[in-house]
Structure 1
Amino acid sequence: MERWEYSTIKIKLKGFSGGILETEDFDYELNKLGEQGWELVSCFSTNGANGYGREAIAVFKRKK
């Protein structure tokens, strides 16, 4: 039976009301985890005021 472990990161979105993702920072975090064997399985943003996102959340998995 395969076993998995999971990791979650949060990246704050920029802008007055949020909603702007700094892709260089986000890519850096994704690549750092990818080098450690983590695979991205989901990515979504949290809701803030007026429908703008506040955080980008990325969920990763890798075999134990």
Structure 2
Amino acid sequence: MDRWAYKTVKYKTGGFLGGKIKEDEFEELLNSYGFEGWELISCFDTSVYQGQSRDIVAVFKRKV
């Protein structure tokens, strides 16, 4: 049976009210975990008020 390790990473959005993403920076973050063997399995935002996003949460897994 396969065994898995999981990692949750929170990425802060920018801007006065949040919601702005530096795409190159976010992609670099995702790639850095991918190079370490982590597979992205879920990605979602945390809503603050009327659709504004404060954080993006990425969930990864890899075999142990």
The verdict on a shared fold, with TM-score over 0.5 as the criterion, is yes
Report the RMSD for the aligned CA atoms in angstroms.
0.8
Cα separation, 2, equivalents of 1:40 and 1:60: 4
Q: Larger % of helix: which?
A: 1
SS of equivalent to 1:49: coil
Name the TM-score, length of structure 1 as normaliser.
Answer: 0.93
SS of equivalent to 1:17: coil
Cα separation, 1, equivalents of 2:30 and 2:51: 25
Comparing 39-48 with 18-27, greater Cα deviation is found at 18-27
Residue correspondence of structure 1 range 20-59 to structure 2 within 5 A: 20-59=20-59
Q: Percent identity?
A: 48
Q: Which runs of 4+ in 1 moved over 6 A?
A: none
Count, aligned residues? 64
SS of equivalent to 1:8: strand
Q: Which residue of 1 aligns with 2:4?
A: 4
Give unpaired runs (5+ residues) of structure 2: none
Output one character per residue of 1:5-46: Cα deviation in whole Å (capped at 9) or x when no partner: 001111101111111111111111101100010000000000
Give unpaired runs (5+ residues) of structure 1: none
